[in-house]
Amino acid sequence: MELIFASNNENKVNEIRAVLPSEIKILSLNDIGFHDEIEENGDTLEENSRIKAETLHKLTGKNVFADDTGLFVEALKGAPGIHSSRYAGTGNSADNIRKLLKELEGIANRKAFFKTVICLFWKDEIHFLSGKIEGSIIEQIKGAEGFGYDPVFVPDNYEQTFAEMNQSQKNKISHRAKAVENLIRFFENN
Ligand code: IMP
């Protein structure tokens, strides 16, 4: 059974290939020769993941899934949220972190969570699977692993930031790992 992952990020595609059952053949956007930009103009992770998955589903008629992730900070009313990748306007992680720390200056409530939503079109039915991790934003960057906001995010019940953990530690607890676990469970039961 073929399943398109509506992503150009070959690292993510390979990660998914490694964990899904081998009877499911994962095709990336490169694999199917799709190189257009899909405008993600929704207001939620659910809407944006659906826009990507639905565009490809309509175009190909095949099984498709897409993911979307954001960091939601309580004291900032959920910002950066769906705008996480371009929060500072440059698309650069160091700039995004700098802006986040500035917005949180002098604010005691540092609670935040990462959430990943996967929208799946499987046998013409739509399904949403998600994963979330709660934590807090520290005041200065710590650690050099990972990407994005990892150097300022400490998961609840841990001392280290995501950027101080190695990849396999992060992958045991992360928002994306939990969403993917739910995707694996879906295929075990369907
Ligand atoms: P995407 O939907 O996976 O492209 O994620 C959107 C943005 O959220 C990324 O550009 C990062 O800024 C942020 N982000 C997503 N996942 C993580 C993570 O695991 N650690 C840190 N930042 C992340």
pLDDT the model gives residue 138: 98
What distance in Å separates the CA atoms of residue 164 and residue 148, rounded to the nearest whole number? 13
Residue type, 123: K
The ligand 1 atom nearest the CA atom of 150: 21
One digit per residue, pLDDT tens: the chain, 190 residues? 999 999 988 888 988 888 888 899 999 999 999 999 999 999 999 999 999 999 999 999 999 999 999 999 999 999 999 999 999 999 899 999 999 999 999 999 999 999 999 999 999 899 999 999 999 999 999 999 999 999 999 999 999 999 999 988 998 999 999 999 999 999 999 8
pLDDT the model gives residue 101: 98
What distance in Å separates the CA atoms of residue 26 and residue 98, rounded to the nearest whole number? 37
Å from CA of 84 to ligand 1 middle: 7
Reduce the DSSP state of residue 179 to 3 states and report it: helix
Among the options 43, 68, 150, 156, which is catalytic?
68
pLDDT the model gives residue 15: 84
What distance in Å separates the CA atoms of residue 50 and residue 34, rounded to the nearest whole number? 17
Judge if the beta carbon of residue 116 lies within 6 A of ligand 1: no
pLDDT the model gives residue 14: 87
What distance in Å separates the CA atoms of residue 76 and residue 128, rounded to the nearest whole number? 26
Judge if the beta carbon of residue 130 lies within 6 A of ligand 1: no
Q: What are phi and psi of 182, to 5 degrees?
A: -65, -35
Judge if the beta carbon of residue 85 lies within 6 A of ligand 1: yes
Q: What are phi and psi of 153, to 5 degrees?
A: -110, 120
Q: How many CB atoms lie within 10 A of CB 167?
A: 12
Q: Tell me, which fold does domain 2-189 have in CATH? A: Maf protein (3.90.950)
Cα 114 to the center of its chain, rounded Å:
8
Q: Is 68 among the residues known to form the active site?
A: yes
Tokens 């405008």 correspond to what residue? 39
